[in-house]
Every structure is written in structure tokens, then in C-alpha cells.
Amino acid sequence: MVQIAFQGERGAYSEEAALEYFGGAISFKPCYSFQEVFEQVAGKQVDYGVVPVENSYTGSIVDTFDLLLNFNVNIVGEKILRIKHNLIVNKGVSLADIREIYAHPQAIAQCDVFLKKIGKRVIPFYDTAGSVKYIKENNLMNAAAIASRYAAEIYDMHIIAESIESVSNNYTRFYIISLKESVKGLKNKTTIVFSIKNIPGSLYNCLKPLAEAGLNLTKIESRPDRKKPWEYIFYLDFEGVKDDPIVRKALIELEAKTSFLKILGSYPADTSTVIG
């Protein structure tokens, strides 16, 4: 049976993403942190890890980007999941009873309009599903949690407000990571990370080979280089597979213009989710 690591407790959105990506014949290894997920994969304790990389409302999950740089794992797939947040309580609790709400910081940010409207105390928690488990195990009758319907079902809890996210088209993209290499898909993406030389026009010169090769860039993200203050590392997604001759030539030209270049993976893009 395929073993999957993810951050959070059972019922987390990452578990849902794994179920949609792999199907039901899998076993799970819940982890406290994103780093633990990477450690489980790199240490061959599990076959795959599932980690969020960006949300359509709140943007990138920077911890994932930093860990991709520091661990020798491959991105072998992606899953885009529609995120529907719910206000979850113990049975018998009403909205008027609630004094505090437990939620992961990402969920808090994605439900900011609703939370401001109801005016309850919000307490950041390490995981969405974990917040449901916490108020369940402690029988808190004056508290609520923000999580998925799946989490409410797992812990046999009650939903008193559905779809409380601030925008209806709320999606999170997850990477599937592994020590294995990906297989080719009909529509492949490649993710790379590189640092640029500290000279004028450096980023332009790095992107030029990709543009000349006709490669469609789908994402670019900058992160501070922690070893060099005020210098930056760039993460980039583009359509194409790394062993295509055109792509390979462009990457060779790019590498010559960078301080370093790392290919994080070529993998089939998720085309199953219609966003809109």
C-alpha cells in the first residue's frame, strides 16, 4: 500500500488532496510540520508527501518553497483542490455560545470577511483538522473550529456555518513530492529554482532563453537568499518537460547565466479542476 505523509491531523485538506490524487488504496502518515513531511520523504519512511504550495486568495506558502530548496526530493505531481471552509462545533453548540474560534493562520486569512463580521476571538492553531480534534477531545462548548466538511465527518462534529471563505473561487494547489521521478503527462510542467548574479539586467537575461524557446511561464516567485542579504532566489514554473530537447537547451543557457540552478521536477499538470 502506498504511504503518504502530510502536514496536519486526519481530515486535513492535504489528506483530501491526497485522496483525490491517489485514490483510496493508500495509508497516511500525519505530520506536525511541513519539514517533517519532507524528512519522511527524504528518509524513505513514506512513498510520497503532499504539501500546499499556493492559495488563490492568500498567495504562496513560503515554507514549502524554502523546503524544496533544502531537500533533495522531486515534484512528481500537483493537485488543485477547491477549499470550502466551515465553522464546526460540538453538537448542541450554537453561534451565540461561541467565544473563541480555533483555526490555522491560512484558514483565518481565507475567512477574514466572515470572522470580522461575527466578531469572535480567533486563536491561531497549527492545523485545520487539528483544531476540530482539539475542541472535540476537550469538549469545548464555547468554541468553534474552521475546517473542511471531511474533518467534521471524521470527528463526528456539527457544522453551523458552511462555505465561510471570503471568495467563492478559493483553491489551493498542492505538490506531490517523492524521491522517485515523475512520468510524462499529456500536459507537463517543470518547476525550477535559481539564483541570479548581482548585475544589472540579470533576471531579464535569465528569462530570455526561456522566452526564445517559446516556453510559457505559469508562475514566478522570489524568496530572499538567506545566505546573502538583499539577494534573491527565484522559483519558476513553465509548461514543458525537462528532457525535451528544446527545454534542455533553454535550461543549459539559463544555467550559464545563474549562480545556481536546480530542477525541482517535471510532472503532469492538474487539468481535472475547472476554476471559475
Residue 47 has pLDDT above 80, yes or no: yes
- Catalytic (active site) residue 172: yes
The superfamily in CATH containing domain 86-161 is Periplasmic binding protein-like II (3.40.190.10)
Cα 211 to chain centroid, rounded: 27
Give domain limits for the chain: 2-82+170-178, 86-161, 188-268
Contacting residues for 86 by C-beta, under 8 A, at least 6 apart: 146, 147, 148, 149, 152, 159, 161, 162, 163, 164
Query: What's the pLDDT tens digit per position in 200-213?
Result: 888 999 999 999 99
Mean pLDDT computed over 142-159 = 97
Q: In the structure grid, which three cell numbers stand for residue 175, read together? A: 505538490
Of 174, 194, 234, 238, which one is the catalytic site residue? 174
* pLDDT bracket for residue 196 (50, 70, 90): confident
Q: Which amino acid is at 154?
A: I
Q: What is the mean pLDDT of residues 121-127?
A: 96
In the chain, % of residues over pLDDT 70: 97
Looking at every residue in the chain, the average pLDDT score rounds to: 93
Burial class for 191, CB neighbours closer than 10 Å (0-12, 13-18, 19+): buried
- CA 36/CA 193 separation, integer angstroms: 22
Which strand (E) or helix (H) includes residue 268? strand 258-268
Q: Which fold has domain 2-82+170-178?
A: D-Maltodextrin-Binding Protein; domain 2 (3.40.190)
Q: Matching CATH topology for 86-161 and 188-268? A: no
Whether the per-residue pLDDT at 239 is higher than 60: the answer is yes
Q: What percent of the chain has pLDDT over 90?
A: 85
For 7-36, what is each residue's pLDDT tens digit? 999 999 999 999 999 987 899 999 999 999
CATH (one of 3.30.1120.80, 3.40.50.300, 3.90.1150.10, 3.30.70.260) for 188-268 = 3.30.70.260
Q: Between 100 and 199, whose confidence is greater? A: 100
Instruction: Name the catalytic one among 38, 65, 125, 172.
Output: 172
Question: What is the distance between the alpha carbons of residues 115 and 134, in angstroms, rounded to a whole number?
Answer: 20
